[in-house]
Amino acid sequence: MKPWSAIVLAAGVGSRLRPLTDSVPKCLVPVGRETMLARTLRLVADAGAAEAIVSTGYLDAVVREAVRDAPLPVRCVHNPDYETTQNVVSLHRALALVPAGHGVMKFDGDVVFEPAVLTRLLDAKGDAAAAIDDGETPPDEAMKVLVRDGHIVRFGKSLDARSAAGESIGIERFVSAVVPALTDAIARAVGSGRTDVYYEDVYNDLCDAGLVITPAYLGALRWNEVDDVADLERARALFAFD
């Protein structure tokens, strides 16, 4: 999938990590030897991304300063409504900057992962793929997926964990041929006032319209979402020596 742009959604405040996030956004909290955002930018550069597009919100200027020395070209786009809208709006703003002919790999800015996760996604079959933790039954609050005939048919936090194939970790890959459909679907959702939904709700629209999204199962690969102090401690333990 070349060339491709990495989109990083990094608008969040990280209120559950205060006071660590009083002066920096959540994406700039350190895990191991670098911040979560710096780690993601390093890994996507190593994986061959042509550029990164970072969707900012809280403390936009701090993020822009932090990416000045990134190992690949980075453009930032600000979502001024980050406090009153869901992540679909941040994704909408970032997708508007993707060059024609580029594929996309999208990241939640508070997810820490090992490099093999990117390899798993890039090697997955089909025009679109989502990284899925299939290691154990997902918690009730997780973004779960239903899989039928080898492809994802539904994303949702309210799905029955017992029938789910696993948890979607917030990293997806789209080849250039389907990026226009993704961009249009996200834009329609935002334009129609659906600014309070998750981007996965729009992925469901695309699945209903026939887009095949392949689950890229992670097995024992390491990853961690950082929402609170306990998550941060877990992530730091997982990636202490990376």
> Is 25 exposed, middle or buried (CB count within 10 Å of its CB: 0-12, 13-18, 19+)?
buried
From the list 173, 172, 154, 171, the residue with the least C-alpha distance to 163 is 154
Q: What is the reported pTM? A: 0.95
Query: Is the pLDDT score of 241 beyond 80?
Result: no
pLDDT in tens, 174-211: 999 999 999 999 999 999 999 999 999 999 999 999 99
Please give the mean pLDDT across all residues of the chain: 94
E strand or H helix at 201:
helix 199-208
Query: Is the pLDDT score of 20 beyond 90?
Result: no
Q: Are strands 51-56 and 34-35 parallel, antiparallel or unpaired?
A: unpaired
pLDDT in tens, 96-124: 999 999 999 999 999 999 999 999 999 99
Q: What is the pLDDT of residue 136?
A: 82
Distance CA 164, CA 156 (A): 10
Distance CA 35, CA 177 (A): 33
> Is 72 exposed, middle or buried (CB count within 10 Å of its CB: 0-12, 13-18, 19+)?
middle
From the list 26, 24, 33, the residue with the least C-alpha distance to 229 is 26
Written as one letter, the residue type at 148 is R
- Cβ atoms of 8 and 107 within 8 Å: the answer is yes
Domains, the chain, with CATH or none = 4-238 (3.90.550.10)
Write down the residue that tokens 């390093």 correspond to: 42
Distance CA 224, CA 235 (A): 6
